[in-house]
Amino acid sequence: MVIYRSAQTVNLYELIDRDRLATQMAGGRYLQILEMQAHGAWVQLLEDGYTGWVRQKDIANLEPVSAYTPPPPLDRGQIEGLLPQILNYIYHAQAQPHEYLWGGTVPPHFDCSGLMQAAFASVGVWLPRDAYQQEAFSQPLSLDQAEMGDLIFFGSPAKATHVGFYLGAGSYIHSSGKDHGHNGIQTSSLEGVDRVSQTYAQQWRGVGRVMASYSPPLLK
C-alpha cells in the first residue's frame, strides 16, 4: 500500500463531478489512493478512515511517503485533561471571520462535525468524521450525567445529523447553517430560548462522551 501525505489543504468530494464537499484534508494528513480515474482519485484518509474524491488538479499536492505512523492512542483520563484546550480551539475559531461550510473541517469555515473533529484533533484526539459516526463512537449518557466536553447530538429518530460541544448548565457551542438561524459557530441552549435553540431542541437525541482517540479500520 502506497501512503501519501497532503502538502496543503485538499478538498474531498462526495462525487467526482459535483461541488458538494465530503470533507477537507488539512496539510500534513495521510491517505491512501484506492482508485485512479482520468478526472481524479478515490482516496481514504488514514486518521479517520473517511473516503472521498480528490480532483485531478489536487493530486499534485499529494506526496508519497515511506511510512505512516498512526496517531498515539489516548484514554479517557488523558482526554479529560485536554478538554480546556479543545474548548479554547472552538472559541478561537468562533472569534475568526467565518461562516458555516458543509464539509468544512479546516479553519476558518466548519460544519458541525468538522468543527468537533478539528477541535479534538488539535490536541491529538481523533474522532470519526460525521455526526452519526461520532455518536456511535462515543459512550452514551443521560443528560443529567453530561459534563463540559461531552458531545450532544441532534437529528431524526433514525440518525444523528448535528453535533455540538456541551458547555454545562444546558448550553452548548456548535456550528450551524443559515437554515437554522446561524451561519457559523454560536452558543445555544437546550432549553430552546431562541429560534435556533428551539429548532435543535425538537431534534434532541442524546449525549456522548469521548472515551478514547479513534483508530479506524483501513481499506485494503
**Which residues are marked as active site?**
112, 162, 174
Contact indicator for 165, 173 with CB cutoff of 8 Å: yes
Contact indicator for 127, 120 with CB cutoff of 8 Å: yes
Q: How far apart are CA 51 and CA 200, in angstroms?
A: 28
Q: What is the DSSP string of 91-132?
A: HHHHHSS--B-TT-EETTEE-HHHHHHHHHHTTT----SSHH
